[in-house]
Amino acid sequence: MNAMIFALAWLVAVQLLGLGNTVGYHRLLTHRAFACRAPVRWCLTLLGALHGGSPMVWVGLHRLHHTKSDAPEDPHTPTKGFWHGHAGWLIGTTNPLLAVLFAASGFGQQAMILVTDLRRLLGRRPADWLQLCPDLRQERLMRVLDTPLVMPALFAAQLALAWGVAGGLGILWLWLVHLFLTNSSWSVNSVCHWPAFGHQPWDTKDWSRDVPWLSPLTNGESFHNSHHRYPRSARHALQGGADLSWLVIRGLCRLGLAWDPWLPRQFRPRDAAN
């Protein structure tokens, strides 16, 4: 595979799957920050599923995070250590070395999704956070994607396609895609809740931070303290800064594919302030 094509294909995949996570799973499904046509909702959900796993699991965990932010019940708070907040929480460890190795594994998240599904097949009841997304339970696509082994099957299809197109180089390409996406997503939990980084323009009673330099790698998600202050806001960079997810939402609205993006009153355009 030509190096230029390899790099371009990697960038396209990272952007599409990343936006499926940030625009789809986070701002649309979790916080209902805007409304959109059904095909757009389905496409964003499927893009998120290719990397983030079951939408109901993702949404339930994130809603729990907001309900219990940086409290003992928060699933990925860095109050138990920076690397626990980044990746260790997924494998139940506060050991920094184990967390770093898991973060560097690339496909580790997909392995944990498989383990979780196998446990569910053996009769383990879903965690309480699944009770936080009753709205998604009403949608057939969400129920299908939450069915045990559907997510591992989607990942197996990715592996097969990557191998079929470019053999071992294709697997390397896919590994690099997942390595970047997992760590950029997890950095919002770790870097954006760690006192050494960024700043807190809002008093939210938790550790959340706005970290502008991380924004290009997270599609705007790193304005995290602003997000915790206004969780439903379709725009996270409320006081200025790069927010690609917001630009995509605005673009969808201008095309008539989405509408009603919610913003705090003081940050709405003047003609939409009332």
Q: Per-domain residue ranges for the chain?
A: 3-272
- Over residues 227-253, the mean pLDDT reads 97
User: What Å distances lie between residue 39 and 36, 43, 141, CA to CA?
Assistant: 8, 6, 11
Is the predicted pLDDT of residue 127 greater than 80, yes or no?
no
Contact 56, 65 (CB under 8 A): no
Average pLDDT of the residues of the chain: 95
- Over residues 40-48, the mean pLDDT reads 98
Q: 273 pLDDT band (50/70/90 cuts)?
A: very low
- Over residues 144-172, the mean pLDDT reads 96
Structure tokens given for 3: 């190096």
Phi, psi (degrees; rounded to nearest 5) at 88: -60, -30
Is the predicted pLDDT of residue 131 greater than 80, yes or no?
yes
- Over residues 3-19, the mean pLDDT reads 91
- Over residues 161-172, the mean pLDDT reads 95
Is the predicted pLDDT of residue 271 greater than 90, yes or no?
no
pLDDT at 274: 41
pLDDT at 272: 54
pLDDT in tens, 71-115: 999 999 999 999 999 999 999 999 999 999 999 999 999 999 999
Q: For residue 112, give every residue at least 6 positions away whose Cβ sits within 8 Å of its Cβ, in sequence order, or none.
A: 90, 91
* Residue 13 burial (C-beta neighbours within 10 Å; 0-12, 13-18, 19+): buried
Is the predicted pLDDT of residue 153 greater than 90, yes or no?
yes
Phi, psi (degrees; rounded to nearest 5) at 160: -65, -40
pLDDT at 221: 98
Contact 20, 26 (CB under 8 A): no
Q: 116 pLDDT band (50/70/90 cuts)?
A: very high
Q: 3-state secondary structure string, the chain?
A: CCHHHHHHHHHHHHHHHHHHHHHHHHHHHHCCCCEECHHHHHHHHHHHHHHHCCHHHHHHHHHHHHHCCCCCCCCCCHHHCHHHHHHHHHHCCCCHHHHHHHHCCCCHHHHHHHHHHHHHHCCCCCCHHHHHCCCHHHCHHHHHHCCCCHHHHHHHHHHHHHHHHHHHHHHHHHHHHHHHHHHHHHHHHHHHHCCCCCECCCCCCCCCCECHHHHHHHCCCCEHHHHHHCCCCCCCCCCCCCCHHHHHHHHHHHCCCEECCCCCHHHCCHHHCC
Instruction: Give SS3 for 48.
Output: helix
pLDDT at 178: 98
pLDDT at 129: 74
Q: What percent of the chain has pLDDT over 90?
A: 91
